[in-house]
A = this chain, B = another copy of it.
Amino acid sequence: MSTTLTGTDTSDRILDIAEHLVQTRGFNAFSYADIAIALKVTKASLHYHFPTKAKLGERLVDRYQSTFLAALASIDRSSDNAALRLKAYMAIYSDVLEDERMCLCGMLAADYVTLPEPVKDRVQYFFETNEIWLTTVLLQGQAQDQISFTGSADERARFIVSALEGAMLLARSHEDTNRFRMVATRLLADFGIGE
């Protein structure tokens, strides 16, 4: 039962640094050397924890995915109102952007064709998870008259993810987080959700 509880062992710290690098620079624009310098170890040491960059990528998305799922579960627990849940969902994106990062999987979506196959699969899975959660929130909110929209919830969920990911991309390259907020606000307004 000697399970590590600290959560800040070397593997985790490597993932923290790599995650930040991918979220800012992309999968093809960071190296083991970058991580080694940030962590003050040698490149060789990193290979003990993550034998290849492909494996590192897999673990990176796996961790991001489970953190994201935990955040969604937390939202579900904190409120049963669809409007509030949508706002909280968008706040996750907003917080990432405020930290001058892109969504990890949004970034990997841009690098998509160059990614190792197992990473590709995980990126797709991440977005599917997002869309399923959003679809559920939308349907429930519609049934309880908390929000209103026309068309399928599924299509709306995909629309939201597209708009948010695109807004992050544009906001970051214009160094203007306001661009993101405006898009989020409009998305909410379309569901009859005000400030």
Q: A109 is contacted by which of B25, B114, B169 (Cβ under 8 Å)?
A: B169
Whether the pair B113, A25 counts as a contact (CB closer than 8 A) is yes
Q: In this assembly, does A143 line the interface, its C-beta being within 8 Å of a C-beta of chain B?
A: no
Instruction: Say whether, besides A110-B102, A166-B165, A158 and B173 are in contact (CB < 8 Å).
Output: no
A186 and B191 alpha carbons, distance in the complex (Å): 13
Q: Is the interface of A mostly helix, strand, loop or mixed?
A: helix
Whether the pair A170, B28 counts as a contact (CB closer than 8 A) is no
Whether the pair B182, A159 counts as a contact (CB closer than 8 A) is yes
Q: In this assembly, does A40 line the interface, its C-beta being within 8 Å of a C-beta of chain B?
A: no
* Size class of the A contact interface (CB-based, 8 Å): 35 or more
**Smallest CB–CB gap between A102 and chain B, Å?**
7
By a CB distance below 8 angstroms, the chain B residues around A111 are 26, 29, 110
Q: In this assembly, does A141 line the interface, its C-beta being within 8 Å of a C-beta of chain B?
A: no
Given A106-B169, A159-B186, A162-B169, 20 other A-B contacts at CB below 8 A? A25-B113, A26-B26, A26-B114, A29-B114, A102-B110, A106-B166, A108-B173, A109-B169, A109-B170, A109-B173, A110-B169, A112-B172, A112-B173, A124-B173, A127-B170, A127-B173, A158-B183, A162-B170, A163-B163, A166-B169
